[in-house]
Chain A
Amino acid sequence: NAGVTQTPKFQVLKTGQSMTLQCAQDMNHNSMYWYRQDPGMGLRLIYYSASEGTTDKGEVPNGYNVSRLNKREFSLRLESAAPSQTSVYFCASSEEWGVGTQYFGPGTRLLVL
């Protein structure tokens, strides 16, 4: 039981490049989330998927897109990376939407030059 897994662990991009962050969970959870963590700002919600087949914007969605590929997988795409997107990205899942107990992956550290 791996919980929530994320790939890659670390990535360096040049401004304007694109990339997709992958996330998978093996807990049969319905809801999944993408957060970014910046110093002094806690975690901010980028996008979420309350259930398979649905996605919605969170607090800071600009510059990102998501895909809920199936119940297990939820990917985050940066179409044209900007230095302001340098951050640590966390994927999380929960049994249902609106439940505060969320399970987090180990994170992806992204540096945009």
Chain B
Amino acid sequence: GNSVTQMEGPVTLSEEAFLTINCTYTATGYPSLFWYVQYPGEGLQLLLKATKADDKGSNKGFEATYRKETTSFHLEKGSVQVSDSAVYFCALILTIGADSWGKLQFGAGTQVVVTP
């Protein structure tokens, strides 16, 4: 089946540190990949996405590159702020024609805590 695996949290960092959250996937077909972020007490919001191999998604200083050869979509940010404290979800969606197409499938989420 299709699945998304993320590194377990919490990940605790100091302000201005480098952040990496690992995400790997298993999918039949060629998925589009996403990172969603959930700030405390809120719903999820899209952070970035990539729709094909070697695409790089970026937003708010975060980046992730779609690596087909390693089936990965790791999230990175060079210098985190306290306001980046949140839960980050990696997700995939399969395009038409693939098994279970059209349904967004999420990883378990990784909590990130940034301290001053």
Chain A residues within 8 Å of B, Cβ to Cβ: 4, 33, 40-45, 48, 50, 58-59, 90, 92, 97-107
Contact = CB atoms under 8 A, between A and B. Distances in A.
Interface in B71-104: 89, 91-93, 95-96, 101-104
Nearest to B44: A104
A90 B104 CA distance: 14
B106 A90 contact: no
A8 B94 CA distance: 32
A45 B95 CA distance: 17
Given A43-B89, A105-B43, A106-B43, A100 B104 contact: yes
Nearest to B96: A98
What band does the interface of chain B fall in when counting residues whose beta carbon is under 8 Å from A? 20 to 34
A59 B103 CA distance: 10
Contacts of B92: 100
Interface in B38-75: 41-46, 49
A99 B104 CA distance: 8
Contacts of A99: 93
Contacts of A102: 44, 46, 104
A90 B108 CA distance: 15
B20 interface: no
Contacts of B43: 4, 90, 92, 104-107
The 4 nearest A-B residue pairs measured at CB: A104-B43, A98-B102, A42-B106, A100-B93
B34 interface: yes
Given A42-B89, A43-B89, A58 B44 contact: no
Contacts of B34: 100-101
Contacts of B93: 98-100
Given A92-B43, A99-B93, 14 more contacts: A42-B89, A42-B109, A43-B44, A43-B89, A48-B103, A58-B103, A90-B44, A100-B49, A100-B91, A100-B93, A100-B104, A102-B44, A104-B44, A106-B42
B32 interface: yes
Contact of A101 (B41, B46, B96, B103): B46
Nearest to A38: B108
